[in-house]
Amino acid sequence: MPVPPFTPPATIGGFPVTALLAARAGRCACAGADPATGAPLLLKLGSPGDALLGGLRHPHLAAVLAAGEEHGQPWSALAWVAGRPLRAVLADGVPPQVQALAWMAQLLAALACLHGAGIVHRDITPANLLITPDGQLVVTDFGLAARAGQGGSAAGTPAYMAPEQMRGAPADARADLYAAGVVLFQLLTGRLPFEGNAGAVVQQVLAAAPAAPPAPSHRHPALGCRFDGVLARALARDPGQRFQSASQFAAAISEIAAA
């Protein structure tokens, strides 16, 4: 029997819905508008993590303007961010290294703000990073966000999940930094450190014999080896051997860029 099309509600959190953008398993994202100002909004149902970011503002974080619960389901209203997912940008090829490092600096600045508030994103991927028309990176989609040390579940995108997150352990900031390391690897090489379907990636990351992830210079020889060390640390299996903060990670990249 065909599944009937999803019909979005007329309003979410009291904000009028203007278009359905996506719907899956009882969750939806819609375009909307603020009736008071006419400003465009992203309205979401079934995204509980968004509420954690209420009041948190940073130029590289999508702003959560309001959140609540409606008919037992969490809802949120976010400022509309015009842009193209980094995933689509990467599909066009490896960006210039200067641009890649600028986007990485913006991502790490956003994570420093998020982690400073005690929040872990838990799904940092190129699909959840928007590149605006003026070339700025903005972190979006906080549906899996949790307080640091909470939210123990194996939820996320396997290619970007830290080993402890795959095991279902509560994640802290270092899980986001691992994911950011995967994004940097992809920005520099156009490839992922661990490749294959979801099951193959999990098997490689959680393999019984500890092994370092492939060096970016092996994936993209023209890159040279100057980023090998920083990415080996970012993607360390043991969280204690990774960068311990976004600012520490950013400083290591800046040092390489300045050399």
> Terminus-to-terminus CA distance in the chain, angstroms?
62
Reply yes or no on whether 34 is catalytic.
Answer: no
Judged against a pLDDT cut of 80, whether residue 3 lies above it is answered with: no
Residue of 34, 50, 92, 123 with catalytic role: 123
What domains are defined for the chain? 11-79 (3.30.200.20), 84-258 (1.10.510.10)
The mean per-residue pLDDT over the stretch 59-77 comes to 95
Contact 121, 115 (CB under 8 A): no
Q: How confident is the model at residue 232 (pLDDT cuts 50, 70, 90)?
A: very high
Question: Rounded to 5, what percent of the chain is helix, strand, coil?
Answer: 35, 20, 40
CB atoms within 10 A of CB 90: 18
The mean per-residue pLDDT over the stretch 192-213 comes to 65
Contact 94, 140 (CB under 8 A): no
- Which helix or strand (DSSP H or E) is residue 40 part of? strand 40-45
- pTM here? 0.91
Judged against a pLDDT cut of 50, whether residue 168 lies above it is answered with: yes
Contact 121, 176 (CB under 8 A): yes
